[in-house]
Amino acid sequence: MRESYKTFVVAVSCALCLGLFAAPTSTSASQNDGSTPLGEPTGNIHFRDICATPLSSNAFVIRWQTDVPTTSAVEYGRTTAYDKKTVEDPKLVCKHEVVLSGLEENQVYHFRVCGSSGPSYPSSCSPDRTFYTLPPPSPELLNGSFDDFGGDSARRLYPWVQYTTGDDTMGYHPIDGLVGPFSPSASASWFGGIRAFDGSYFLGAAANWGCKNGGVFQRVLWPAGTMCVFSVRYVAFNRGGVPLDTRVRVGIDPNGGVDPSSPSIRWWTGTPSANDNRWYLASISAVAGAQGIVTVFIDIRQRWELEWHVIAVDHATLTLPTSISIGALKSSLGDFGVLIEQKRVTFMSNEPVMSIDGSYYKGYIEDEERTAGIAVYFDASGGPIPQIGERINVCGSLVHHNMEAIILASSWSTTPSNTRLPSPLGISIKDVGGAETLVQPSLRCSAGLSCVGLRVRVFGRVVWVDSSLPFWNATAIIDDGTAILNQLPPRGTIPRGLRVKLPGNALGVQVGDYIAATGIISIELVDPKPPAYTGDEYFAYTLLVATPEDWHVVTRQ
């Protein structure tokens, strides 16, 4: 049936009012922004700010205001005959709230709000309004590639539910919704050369001298007490702003709620690290609640009316964690939950890393065969932080943050190890980074296996050093003659070579020194001259050295 393929459009105000008042296939903003009357005066009573908010798939709460204190009642039904009416609440109030229950899922309902206030204000009702009850929970995540057909052979979002967020200042500016067809092999593309990650369609929002905010959600049946991992691929870039102005959030409500502002939702936020049209990973994990229903959210945030905001989202998946090696993970699509077992911790940061969604301690783990390594974010409030040398089991999701593939740990356990860390791999600086994989982006054109996350040993001449904290820690750039351009985007004033973090700089390393160092190849967002986001930032491969014993000056000029 064609009607079962409706696009549901929800409006969310700062007061958390989700009004489902749009036509089935409309992508326009809600008529209710909380500031203007929604109905013409009927009799002597003015009804305004009428809003319908879903409580579940078969219950809604209707809220409205009147200019004079009146009673409260709602007439409703599948047609404008309004075959049902709530019991009239005799209390005289200006702010009204009535709950409708026993509704059918996946249906359109007509309603009008009514009230009276004695002889001076006889019983009156508002004009007709409509809302749509939610579709039933999906047996599994459906239409993750946004390429499913409806009953009329047109692409549909169903069973995704589209919503719009806004406030009294900016108003409601809905996302574009489905965008396409732009297949990966087609000559045609969307803004910025964007083509679908898979299939031909994707979820999108592009604004020129404006902004669009909102997203989609889908409720899915999931065994209670079982972990699920929600992943998407996204493109995000802007012109005229900073990365935080254009971002994508993925979230899971483990209790099956439909309010995108609920505190029970676990979020991860992706931002346009390189401001390009590459597809990046965002994902989040959660344990399903007792009801056995989870709700997954894709939330698009565009801040300020910039020259351009462009966001595309595709390839949504909801999976169980999968036991996998680090090497196999980095050669995969990364669109599943991650279970890494009995790996060695090769590095742990001393200071937490800040993100939009919280603070984390950043560590690195490595396959036993020294074939691959990867970064892990451990929630700073999630339990004991692992130590270098321990063996670890990690369960979580895979994300991109600051151009690096990172496991976002939801749970972990460690055991002590009495053996030394595996010997580092000796590499030349030109081999740092390696070719881009499906999971790990590359900062420059280079060949070979990706060594980001691996423990390596390098040698080179110091061509630049920041010794603002003498005899404590230092950051240096070293070169072994290959003079790699280690900057994305390129910055002509920065010396070529590999950045190296040197702890315990008791010798006071100097330009001209030749040093050898053992550490982890990571990616760092470098800000030469704070404050942040002034246009001089760049990403660079950086060797993280754990202890003063892991580096030394070989010769000094």
Check if the beta carbon of residue 81 is closer than 8 Å to that of residue 55: no
Check if the beta carbon of residue 497 is closer than 8 Å to that of residue 484: yes
As a dihedral over the C-alpha atoms of residue 19, residue 23, residue 28, residue 29, rounded to 10 degrees, the angle is -10
Domain extents for the chain? 37-132, 161-317, 321-415, 425-555
From 423-437, 478-492, 528-542, the region with the lowest mean pLDDT: 528-542
pLDDT at 360 (0 to 100): 93
From 53-62, 293-302, 406-415, 464-473, the region with the lowest mean pLDDT: 464-473
- Res. 236: pLDDT tops 70: yes
Judge: domain 37-132, CATH 2.60.40.420.
no
pLDDT at 24 (0 to 100): 29
Q: Which residues contact 468 (CB under 8 A, 6 or more apart)?
A: none
Q: Using 50, 70 and 90 to split pLDDT, how confident is the model at 506?
A: low
Q: What pLDDT digit, counting tens, does each position of 248-282 carry?
A: 999 999 999 988 989 999 999 998 887 888 899 99
- Look up the CATH superfamily of 321-415: Nucleic acid-binding proteins (2.40.50.140)
Q: What token pair was written down for 495?
A: 């010396």
pLDDT at 445 (0 to 100): 78
- Res. 20: pLDDT tops 90: no
Q: What pLDDT digit, counting tens, does each position of 175-205 carry?
A: 999 999 999 999 999 999 999 999 999 999 9
Query: What average pLDDT does the chain have?
Result: 86
DSSP assignment string, 463-508: EEEE-SSTTT-EEEEEESS------BS--TTSPSSEEEEES--TT-
Cα end-to-end span (Å), the chain: 81
Q: Using 50, 70 and 90 to split pLDDT, how confident is the model at 471?
A: low
Q: Is-same-fold flag (161-317; 425-555)?
A: no
Q: Please give the angle made by the CA atoms of 367, 370 and 373, to the nearest 5 degrees.
A: 55
Token pair 């700062």: residue: 14
Q: What pLDDT digit, counting tens, does each position of 48-91 carry?
A: 888 887 887 788 889 899 999 999 999 999 999 999 999 999 99
Q: What token pair was written down for 381?
A: 């409030």
pLDDT at 467 (0 to 100): 64
Q: Which residues contact 205 (CB under 8 A, 6 or more apart)?
A: 175, 176, 212, 213, 214, 300, 302, 309, 310, 311
Distance CA 81, CA 130 (A): 13
- Res. 34: pLDDT tops 80: no
Region 95-105: mean pLDDT is 93
pLDDT at 444 (0 to 100): 81
* 171-172 vs 227-239, strand pairing mode: unpaired
Return the SS3 of 439.
Answer: coil
Report the predicted TM-score, pTM, of the whole model to 2 decimal places. Answer: 0.83
| Candidate CATH numbers 2.60.120.260, 3.40.630.30, 3.40.50.740, 2.40.50.180; the one for domain 161-317 | 2.60.120.260
- Res. 454: pLDDT tops 70: yes
In words, the CATH class of domain 425-555 is mainly beta
Check if the beta carbon of residue 478 is closer than 8 Å to that of residue 486: no
DSSP secondary structure code for residue 155 in this structure: B
